Structure 1
Amino acid sequence: MPASKLTLSSEVKYVKGVGPARAELLASRGIQTVEDLLYYTPFRYEDRTRISRVLDLLPGQTATVLAKVLTCGLTKTRGGTYIYDLAAVDASDSAVGSPPAAQRPETGAPSDGGPSAGVPARQDPSRANSGLRSEFGLSALRGGGRSRHSKGMIRCKWFNAVYLEKAKVFRPGQTVFFYGKVDRDPYGTGNFQIIQPQFEIVQESEPGPESEVKPSAEASLQIGRMVPIYQSVGTLGSRVLRRLVWGALASLGRQIPECLPESVRVKNKLMDRASALGQTHFPDQEQRLEDLCQFRTPAQVRLIFEEFFNVGAGLALKRRKAKSVPGVQFGVTENVRQAIKKILPFHPTAAQKRALKEIVDDMRSPHPMNRLLQGDVGSGKTIVAVQAAIVAIEGGCQVALMAPTEILAMQHYFYIKQLLRPLSYQVDVLTSARKASEKAKLKQRIAAGVVNLVVGTHALIEGDVEFARLGLVVVDEQHRFGVLQRYKLIRKGPAPHVLVMTATPIPRTLALTVYGDLDYSVIDELPPNRTPIETRLLGEQDRTRAFEFIRAKVRSGEQAYVVYPLVEESDKLELRAAERMYEQLTHNVFPEFRVGLLHGRLPSEEKERVMQQFKAGELHILVSTTVVEVGVDVPNATVMLIEHAERFGLAPLHQLRGRIGRGRGKSTCLLLAGEPRTEVADERLYTLTQTTDGFRIAEVDLKLRGPGDFFGTRQAGIPAFRIANLLRDQQILEWAKREAFEFVERPASREELEDFAQSLRKVWRQRY
């Protein structure tokens, strides 16, 4: 494909220097088009603008040196290591030209002198020489100056760089810029050396006495500028990636279309897209290194804003569409009030009352509710959801509650059925574990409207599940479902109200992106009967003491969990596993107690039997994997021992701990951690010993894991940002989201909104 015909949507293989082989490497990192390449931005920058003389160098300094190659070649050590060794002399001892001018391909709008100015045209090399003249003096250009001696020498070494010899990259007489960390030559010559330096060859042979170096258009990508540093893509390092990006920008020129609405860009004084891309990859020399590395230059801010704006506008459009759909309008009658009074097991907290009011206000409106109900472990979200269910049932509709696991679904079923018993509602449960004949009958009852509230797993979204009149959908632990699964359930009713619940506290930044189209309710206080949980960090040497602590608690009439990360032993990991430890605890450690085993591989009937035995007090100790992470509610269980706690994430540890402390007795969580441990593991464990606040824990977890890994799965709906960072760019996120919602609600013109919405749909299909 001719370079002149290159567009953002062109396959990346058509960029100069890419080709099929490199295109495959780039595709492995998600770089398939020219646009993908241009949005593969540097993760940091290095200031290589200052050219240092060899005589001025200091050990430990990172510097750029202009030098002429004297000797070079490959040697092999006795140990078999190949070393490419190059000796050079300061360029002030030879006829040289200027440091390469920091250039960019010509992109963007013509410069107006402001922060949004386009990329300047390529500089005349002769003008760019002035920097070297002023720093080294005119003799540096004319060949005059210092005679050669050892203190003007510098050595450069590359380990196992056989390719430098094979390709004959260096030859005596070349003038080269070298960049790297300077150290003294260890052999006592008094010379300096640079190990594994970056380099840029600016002159191939000995010039005449009056000649100057004339760098090419692509020169100085590595030296003499603020140099972008990229994450390597396979064997493609920063050096190659710079040239590929340069080539793409040079081919596109000013043909990079704007993607932000013009009214938004002008209002917020944002740089145009082409200039922003050019200056992000090849920034002006006046940009401060600190601003570049913190992603706070005008160019970088523009691109970060763009990504957040696209997400915010997409969510705003989804929200606007949802609000335009007519839904079931419920009223709060006297029957509703009396029904709620009958079933409330305790006086609700102020936070529960506030959340319920927000939910009921939504259900009274003529449009479907789309609300996120967030609360910490044990904060009482389910009782709030049940009250919302009563509003729907008394209004003549059915309710569906979808949970991610059978254990959680069964826990919800038993709890809700017991809670609603005084109201004579028909409550049932649909999971894949039920017999086919039972499921068929239940589906008939659901379709006939006989069942008022059905709890279930993914089985609820099967094609043959039909509702007579579905009015409320409750999705628990939403982050464990894909977005499509939620919508499959919603489509089973005529625009039902939707309540999404999560016990995994979500930091504000993630809530703005993942659930930005939902209204937001938070239960930020625990019921008064909940007692604080003490968390202790123990080592392997404390194992016997931990078992004795459990023995004492069980003898006093309490129950305990012992949690393991694996079901069975692993050949690869030296970890204790639930099955083997169940045998050991039953026969050797706690022979006087009744011990049960629970893990995800057990048949559904067996899992349910074990849970009911533990809940009824027939089992004293439950050995388990993380299947008890959510939904298991046994108030008499006051102790939890988590083996290999260093192997668990912060959120799962907090969820596991939330299984205790549900009664009035004091509860203790013992974290038994092995060695060696990483610093991140230590910080996770220390955080748990310091707080039981799930929202604070979530912020630490986000910091430790990063946004992309917070929920552990892309299906959770977290956008894959290319330059924006939810931790670093919180203020830009809130700014962009505010502008996006305002633009959708009050656009400068209908045409601008429609044009933008059309292009945004393509972006969402491709990226989110």
Structure 2
Amino acid sequence: MNLNDEVIAIKGIGPKKAEALRRIGICKIEDFLYYYPRDYQDRRQIKKIRELENGSLALTAGTVNSKIKGGYGKKQILRLLITDESGAMEVIFFNAQFLVNKFEMNRQYVFYGKAAVEYGKTKMVHPEFFTNEQENICGIIPIYPLTAGISQADMFKWQAIAVGMVNQQLHEHLTQELIEKNKLCDLGYALSNIHFPQDKNHLKAAKYRLIFDELLFLQMGLLSIKNRITTEEKGIVFHKNIDVYEFIQMLPYALTNAQKKVIQEINDDMESEKVMNRLVQGDVGSGKTVVAETALYKAVKSGFQGVLMAPTELLAKQHYEGLSQEFSKHGIRVGFLSGSMSAKNKKDTLQLLAEGEIHILVGTHAIIQPNVKFKNLGLVITDEQHRFGVNQRNLLTEKGKNPDLLVMTATPIPRTLAVIVYGDLDISIIDELPPGRQKIITTAVEQGNRGKAYSFVKQQIQEGRQAYVVAPLIEESESLENVISAQELHEQLQKEFYNMEVALLHGEMKQADKDCIMQKFYDGHIDILVSTVVIEVGINVPNATIMVIENAERFGLAQLHQLRGRVGRGKHQSYCILISHGKSSISKERLKIMVSTSDGFVIAEKDLELRGPGEFFGLRQHGLPELKLADLMRHITILNIAKKDAKAILEKDPKLLSHEMAEIRHKIIKFFGENAVLSI
């Protein structure tokens, strides 16, 4: 057997188990090695029964002294009396019809589980159990995240097979110089001890090495992308004599200083000889759209086409309508493209685009299809970056001769993280709101005052306004008490607001159904829209003035801020009501922050402090590889070391073509995907 073989080569893995493993990313035997435990159980010491403490997870052993069955069928209960020289304990199994014959009288077994000690009596309910003859029951035991059809015992057995092949078949991908410089253990040692650690020090060394690898590959991939961008010559030249301020002067409002600063940065990039690759961060309502419009104006007036890609069809339509209205005064034609268009409309649009008759194209993911051809693409803009991946951005920029790229996001990201994660982009920040924008009045309400909150919602709707009501779950969950689902909430509010139109929206609906409901809400035919977080990025509904968020304690601050930003887009005063069931001091502190500030960047920093980057910042949603062990902030020291090493390696060997870099090159391409790291 070889590490490169399909998992089905392992005895005991048939097609069903192979499919279950494929669902969790394990296709080849080598993939087991990089499927890390989520936790460990310390089973190095077998305790006597009398040493067991109430509530503790422990390993103990004893002899079956008595075996009592009760109940029938699936409701059978098995009670065992287990004794050792120190005392006795009761072991209870429910649904025990398959376990009755597993235990022999007067035979010794080893049990691992949570002990309950009350009034001098000890018991365990549903512990794991082993015979003394079974191997690998003691030590530091790995616990893996699982999927249906795979057990811990299965995973333990297969991981042992994969780890057993490490020393003979696995190639070290770091140079000896890098290993010695950073005092790293070798790769075989790391992978063996991440799965089956000899002790806690071995586990610590293994984790450090594997975290270093992840952060090194992340930084090398990002730096490679940036190197490609900064060394590539533009295939286009934007005219320096196109004055975007001619466009700005025709606007019916004045720009903020922050908008002017960012427009100048973009203008300088567009006039430079290097390709622009810029991220514009702006809080909700900071005026990012007009910044994008000035860049599009400059591109078109220089003789090039522009494209703006949005994550949803409704948002793309809203951009299309806004841009069409604004640019019609300047003789600039805007086109629209989406997956739901009729074949004829699509064909006509594609033809006009290829002929250069459409100057600016607005659309969804349909824009990156191979049949979409531009005559002279000069500028690519993506809206709400965290809905797109690096690969999608690359597919779009490949449609022109190295066009400029502008990425717009309304999700404030703390700069400490932004410079790491958007290592391939220059960053501009619009940190000022236009004057006169009304502040959204935010209130935190405890569950006991929920009725008053909805009385206020009713009053606002009677005055002609509309409301969003957000729940954290789609369906009711047995495992989560006091957490309301969108479906439950929809039923409740339909009864309570029986003379009003109440609709439900959630992520499991078909896109066409979601768009239909949002369009009805936009047109004023729905009074209350009950939703999950799918409305976090959505169209502007100026008449929606109330955002109610149920179980607000279950959302991150940054997410609460994004949801709040759905209102406050019209002329009427807007409100955000945070209904909380949380009693903890952290829950109260988070909601206090939401009530006290509307600055998205302040909120993002606080969110990072309170939740940590693991929860705050999922790399995958930003189009980058998911880190399995590394945490961008908790491991900031290792990250900085990895970043310095990545820079030094790429300065010496920019395309990683030397023999000693072959393994690293292969790993980075596998880590990022072929399309992302085009420079190596």
TM-score, structure 2 normalization: 0.78
Query: Is 2:664 the partner of 1:760?
Result: no
Contact 1:31-1:37 at 8 Å conserved across structures: yes
Q: Deviations over 1:45-89 (max 9, x none)?
A: 233334545565555555444x563x4453213585332514332
Among 270, 291, 314, the alignment partner of 2:221 is: 314
Q: State the alpha-carbon separation in 2 of the partners of residues 535 and 399 from structure 1.
A: 39
How many angstroms apart in 2 are the aligned matches of 1:498 and 1:652? Answer: 26
1:574 aligns with 488
SS at match of 2:402: coil
Report what 2:88 is aligned to.
154
Q: Is the contact made by 1:578 and 1:624 (CA closer than 8 Å) also made in structure 2?
A: no
Match of 2:460 among 505, 527, 550: 550
Report Cα offsets for 1:379-403 as digits up to 9, x if no partner: 1211222222233233321211122
CA–CA separation in structure 2 for the residues paired with 1:448 and 1:24 = 47
Q: For residue 272 of structure 1, report the CA deviation from its aligned partner.
A: 0.8
Paired residue for 1:492? Answer: 399
Tell me, yes or no, if the aligned pair for 2:468 and 2:544 is still in contact at 8 Å: no
Structure 1 runs not aligned, ≥5 long: 1-5, 91-151, 205-217, 589-598
1:668 and 2:575 correspond = yes
Cα distance change, pair 20–681 in 1 and its aligned pair in 2 (3 A): farther
- Count, aligned residues: 646
Alpha-carbon distance in 2 for matches of 1:361, 1:680 = 45
**Shift, 1:624, TM fit:** 5.0
Check 1:664–1:561 CA distance in 2 against 1; reply closer, same or farther (3 A cut): closer
Q: Distance in 2 between matches of 1:483 and 1:577?
A: 41
The gaps in structure 2 that reach 5 residues or longer are 477-485, 503-509
3-state SS in 2 of match to 1:366: coil
* Offset of residue 459 of structure 1: 4.7
**Distance in structure 2 (CA, Å) of the matches to 1:577 and 1:87:** 51
CA distance in 1, matches of 2:418, 2:432: 19
Q: Distance in 1 between matches of 2:323 and 2:137?
A: 66
Superposed, 1:531-550 pairs within 5 Å as 531-537=438-444, 540-542=450-452, 545-547=455-457, 549-550=459-460
- Provide closer, same or farther for how the CA distance between residues 59 and 714 of structure 1 changes in structure 2, counting only shifts above 3 A: closer
Equivalent-residue separation in structure 1 for 2:255 and 2:131 (angstroms):
74
The code of the aligned residue for 2:669 comes to R
**SS across alignment from 1:532:** coil
Letter in 2 for 1:496: P
Report the secondary structure of 2:298's partner residue: helix
Is the partner of 1:493 in helix, strand or coil? coil
Question: Where does residue 146 of structure 1 map in the other structure?
Answer: none
Match among 64, 67, 84 for residue 89 of structure 1: 84
SS of the equivalent of 1:573 reads: helix
Instruction: State whether structure 2 residue 424 is matched by structure 1 residue 517.
Output: yes
Number of the residue aligned with 1:166: 101
Alignment correspondent of 1:368: 275
1:275 Cα shift?
Answer: 0.4
Q: How far did 1:304 drift?
A: 1.8
Conserved 8 A contact 2:461-2:527: no
- In the alignment, what sits opposite 2:191? 277
Structure-to-structure mapping, 1:453-464, within 5 angstroms: 453-464=360-371
Cα offset, 1:366, TM superposition: 2.6
Q: Does the alignment pair 1:11 with 2:23?
A: no
Q: Is the 8 A contact 1:399 1:472 kept in 2?
A: yes
The Cα of 1:38 is off from its aligned counterpart by 2.1
Cα distance between partner residues in 2 of 1:570 and 1:181: 31
Tell me which moved more, 534-543 or 508-517: 508-517
Q: 1:93-492 counterparts in 2 under 5 A?
A: 152-155=86-89, 157-160=91-94, 165-168=100-103, 172=106, 174=108, 178-184=111-117, 192-198=122-128, 201-202=131-132, 219=135, 221-223=136-138, 225-234=139-148, 236-285=150-199, 287=201, 297-328=204-235, 330=237, 333-420=240-327, 423-431=330-338, 442-481=349-388, 485-492=392-399
Q: 1:36 aligns with which of 4, 15, 31?
A: 31
| Cα distance in 2, alignment partners of residues 733 and 527 from structure 1 | 37
- TM-score (normalizing by structure 1): 0.70
Partner in structure 2 of residue 122 of structure 1 = none
Structure 1 residues 578 and 178, CA gap change in structure 2 (3 angstroms): closer
8 Å contact kept, 1:514–1:717: no
| Structure 2 Cα separation of the partners of residues 53 and 608 of structure 1 | 67
Q: CA-to-partner distance for each residue in 1:297-343, whole Å, 9 max, x for gaps?
A: 12111112222322332233233333343214545634415424424
**CA shift at 1:583, angstroms?**
9.6
CA contact (8 A) 1:17 1:244 kept: no
CA distance in 2, matches of 1:192, 1:746: 65
Match of 1:560 in 2: 465
Post-superposition shift, 1:680? 11
Aligned to 1:109: none
Taking only aligned residues, the RMSD between alpha carbons, in angstroms, comes to: 4.8
Alignment CA distance shift 1:624-1:647 (3 Å): farther
Name which of structure 1's ranges 309-318 and 623-632 shifts more when overlaid on structure 2. Answer: 623-632
Corresponding residue SS for 1:743: helix
**1:736 — aligned with what?**
642
Give me the whole-angstrom Cα distance separating, in 2, the residues matched to 1:432 and 1:760: 33
Name the amino acid aligned to 2:68. Answer: T
State the alpha-carbon separation in 2 of the partners of residues 275 and 632 from structure 1. 52
Change (3 A) 1:677 1:454: farther
Distance 1:587 1:177 in 2: 61
SS of 2:275's equivalent? coil
Residue of 66, 70, 83 corresponding to 1:77: 70
Cα contact 2:391–2:675 (8 A) shared by 1: no
Please tell me whether the aligned partners of residues 259 and 287 of structure 2 are also in contact (alpha carbons under 8 angstroms). yes
CA separation in 1, counterparts of 2:137 and 2:646?
Answer: 38
Distance 1:678 1:716, change over 3 A: farther
Question: In the superposition, relative to structure 1, how do residues 528 and 472 fare at CA in structure 2: closer, same or farther (>3 Å)?
Answer: same
What letter is aligned with 2:665? A
The CA deviation at 1:705 is 11
* Identity, % of aligned positions: 34
